[in-house]
Amino acid sequence: MKNIFDSHAHYESKQFSADRDKVLKSLPDKGVCAVLGCGSDMATSKLNIDLSERYAFHFAAVGVHPHEAQTEGRLDKHKLEYFLSHERVKALGIITTFRRRHCKRNFSPSSLRLP
């Protein structure tokens, strides 16, 4: 299979710490032509930007997942805007602006949501 686009990847996660570069370098030979690394908080968003600077086929999606809203705290809009201005950032992910309709738990308290 060729021209695989991994549209939701987390190669920045600690599970890849031991062999991240080896795994990423092997992807083109396995038919992967592009990867969208998805940040789930501001730190992993930055890590995905860093990976996108090192690998031509890697791009970044930035944002804060509702599950991470409690530990992330109030969203730094200036940092987010800075991330979004980076040429390798191609998407803005879920940024704690909603309550999931299919779930009774509110992952994103209103005090942490964007205005």
Q: Which amino acid is at 47?
A: L
Domain ranges of the chain: 4-112
Query: Homologous superfamily of 4-112 in CATH?
Result: Metal-dependent hydrolases (3.20.20.140)
CA 52 to chain centroid: 11
Residue that wins the pLDDT comparison between 70 and 37: 37
pLDDT for the residue numbered 66 = 74
Alpha-carbon dihedral angle through residues 28, 8, 71, 85, given to the nearest 10 degrees = 80
The pLDDT mean for the chain works out to 85
What distance in Å separates the CA atoms of residue 63 and residue 46, rounded to the nearest whole number?
Answer: 10
Instruction: Note the pLDDT tens digit of each residue in 71-108.
Output: 776 778 889 899 999 999 999 987 655 445 545 555 55
Instruction: Note the pLDDT tens digit of each residue in 29-45.
Output: 999 999 999 999 999 99
- Global pTM? 0.81
48 close to 39: Cβ distance less than 8 angstroms: yes
59 close to 37: Cβ distance less than 8 angstroms: yes
DSSP string, 44-73: HHHHHHHHHHH-TTEEEEEEE-GGGHHHH-
